[in-house]
A = this chain, B = another copy of it.
Amino acid sequence: MTESGKPILYSYFRSSCAWRVRSALALKGIDYETMPINLIKDGGQQFSAEFQALNPMKQVPVLKIDGITIGQSLAIIEYLDETRPTPRLLPQDPRKRASVRMISNLIASGIQPLQNLGVLKQVGQEKQLTWAQNVISVGFGALERILQSTAGEYCVGDEVTMADLCLVPQVANAERYKVDLTPYSTIRRINKSLLALEAFQVSHPCRQPDTPAELRA
C-alpha cells in the first residue's frame, strides 16, 4: 500500500491478466495506484531483482493490499471478493459459483498461458501466429458451447462475474492475433455488452497510465 493507504497494482497496460484485476477494482470502486511494469522495455522489467522479490514468478499483475502481496489474477479477484463483497463477482449459489470458476479457469489455465508472450517467444516468430490462433480457437470452441448453457446477459446469468473479467481480455487477445470470431456468437454478444460498461472502459489497455501515446484512445 502507498503511504496514503491505497492498494498498489503492478500492471502492464497490455497484460490480459492485469486487465482482469483492473476491471475487478473498477467494478468494486476500489481506489488504487498503478505501478507500471513494462514487460518489453529493458529486456522486461519483470526480471528486475526488486520485482522478483515481490513476485518470484516474474509476472503481472501483483496487488499490494491490506499489508499483503498477492500474485495470480484469480487469487487476487477471489481475495477482493471475500474482503470487499459489493458488488459480488461470484454468485451466492455454489452451483453458479462452480460455473463461474470453471469458465474462469478454462481461460486462465486452458487458453491464456499457452498464448502469452513468454511461450510465443519460445515457439519462434514463424509459428507464433498459427500457434496462438490454434490455442484460442480450441478454447473458444469449448467456451462457446459452455456459455450456451450458462449465459444470460453475461457469462453466468445476468450479473457480471469473475468469468466476465476473464472473457473480455481474452477476446482482445484473440482480436490481436486475428482469430476469426465469426463462429463464437455468444462470446461476441457477451463481450459487446461488457465493453459497454464503464468498468471495462476505464480498465481498458488503451486508457492506462503506461499506455504509449500512439495507442491511447
Contacts and interface: CB of A to CB of B under 8 A. Distances in A.
Interface stretch (A29-37, A111-119, A180-188): A111-119
B114 A119 contact: yes
A82 B94 contact: yes
Contact of A142 (B58, B82, B141): B58
A70 B83 CA distance: 26
A77 to B, nearest CB: 9
Contacts of A142: 55-58
Q: Which secondary structure characterizes the binding site on chain A? A: helix
A101 B78 contact: yes
Contacts of A78: 97-98, 101
A94 B83 contact: yes
Copies of chain A in the complex: 2
Interface string A70-104: 11111110110011000000000011011001101
Contact of A113 (B82, B83, B110): B110
Interface string A127-147: 000010000000101110110
A122 interface: yes
Contacts of A122: 131
Given A66-B95, A98-B75, A108 B109 contact: yes
B72 A109 contact: yes
Contacts of A106: 57, 71-72
Given A57-B139, A70-B98, A75-B105, 15 more contacts: A57-B106, A57-B110, A58-B142, A71-B102, A72-B102, A73-B105, A74-B105, A76-B98, A78-B101, A79-B95, A82-B97, A105-B109, A108-B109, A109-B112, A113-B113
12 contacts: A57-B106, A59-B110, A70-B98, A72-B105, A75-B104, A79-B97, A82-B94, A82-B97, A83-B94, A108-B109, A113-B113, A114-B119
The 3 A-B pairs with the shortest beta carbon distances in the complex, nearest first, are: A75-B101, A56-B142, A72-B105
